[in-house]
Amino acid sequence: MRQLLDQRVKYIFFGGKGGVGKTVVAAATALYLAESAGERTLLASFNPVHSLSSVFGQDLSGGVVKEVRGVRNLWAVEVQYDDIVEKYKARISNLLREMLKMAELSVDIKPLIDIATTNPAFHEAASFDKMMDVVLKEGSKFDRVIFDMAAVANAVRLIGLSKLYGAWLQRTIKMRMETLSLKEQLSFRKEKVREEIERDPVLAELKDLYSRYMEVRKVLTDPAQTRFVFVTIPTVLSISVVQRFIEMVKAYEIPFGGVVVNMVIPGEEAARDATGFLRSKYEEQQRNLEVIRQSFSPHILASVRLFPEDIVGLERLRQFVAELVR
């Protein structure tokens, strides 16, 4: 893990199957960078089920960047999905309204807005828009930005939008320009229409969006700036999730950063177990750890033992850091 962090990669995404400790690993990484490396660090949670407040034992909710008490150089934000969706919905509504106004169509806009904002990809598009804000606006204020992502399928689809978003925007801009060109050709007052086209708010917003997309796309696909790290535990299901999604991350051209293995039962603890239960789980983990070694070496960044208690509060998080970054 230290080798990855020493490379000074600015944006690190943590994903994996639910329940493997993504939030704790992301929080511990951010804590190490802020406290031990002395770097201004932002920890951003894009997990709909936020846990940062619980891990740090303080209120980090509200969707705004807050300083983490008790740690120098560390800030955190739990992105509020309801706020994102409402703002994105208002933006899409304005775009539709302007498009219908240009076409001089008098129709009830609400059904169109409902169709546009209730499709399955709308929430991810809205979240990607917020991610662009974090990278472009907040990124310039910090040395490092650590992302705690949702379950890996949603996380990979979300950052995968960086590849699909551009194609959609290019097509939409082209359609808009063709529509405006047709209006100019059919108009008797071409000069006036030309002026209207130059001030067209829809085209201006689409071009602004595309410009922001190009900046973020450049960041997300640059191995010197971005890595996606998977967190797993020694179970068959969580290992298979990582095996499957590593290829998807690469297909989206997001640099793969490695694998953190969490919740590994220490051999000495298993040996002391009088019931045999822990010993049985330990032996099962050892078989699965061999699968992990065969599947992910040499990309295993760290192996962290299973702690007897939940990692809650700064002191326990510091104990976790000592295991994670050696």
Q: Give the separation between CA 185 and CA 193, rounded to whole angstroms.
A: 9
97 to 91, 110, 126, 197, 209: CA distances (angstroms): 10, 10, 19, 16, 18
Amino acid letter, residue 297: S
Q: Map tokens 């490396």 to a residue.
A: 37
Confidence check: pLDDT of 100 > 70: no
Confidence check: pLDDT of 83 > 80: no
Confidence check: pLDDT of 206 > 90: no
Question: Average pLDDT, whole number, for the chain?
Answer: 86
Q: What is the mean pLDDT of residues 254-281?
A: 94
The pTM score is 0.84
pLDDT for 286 equals: 97
Residue pLDDT, tens place only, 44-79: 998 877 789 999 999 999 889 999 999 999 999 998
Question: Pairing mode, if any, of strands 74-78 and 66-67?
Answer: antiparallel
Question: 35: exposed, middle or buried (C-beta count within 10 Å: 0-12, 13-18, 19+)?
Answer: buried
Contacts of 2 (CB under 8 A, 6+ apart): 325, 326
pLDDT for 120 equals: 57
pLDDT for 252 equals: 82
What's the pLDDT band for 122 if we cut at 50, 70, 90? Answer: low
pLDDT for 201 equals: 79
Least confident of 17-21, 283-287, 319-323: 17-21
Q: Give the separation between CA 146 and CA 231, rounded to whole angstroms.
A: 14
CB-hemisphere CA count at 13 Å for 12?
A: 32
Residue pLDDT, tens place only, 160-200: 666 666 777 787 788 777 777 777 777 777 777 677 777 77
Which domains, and CATH codes, for the chain?
A: 1-86+117-325 (3.40.50.300)
pLDDT for 152 equals: 66
Residue 218 tokens, joined: 């450049």
Q: What is the mean pLDDT of residues 112-125?
A: 64
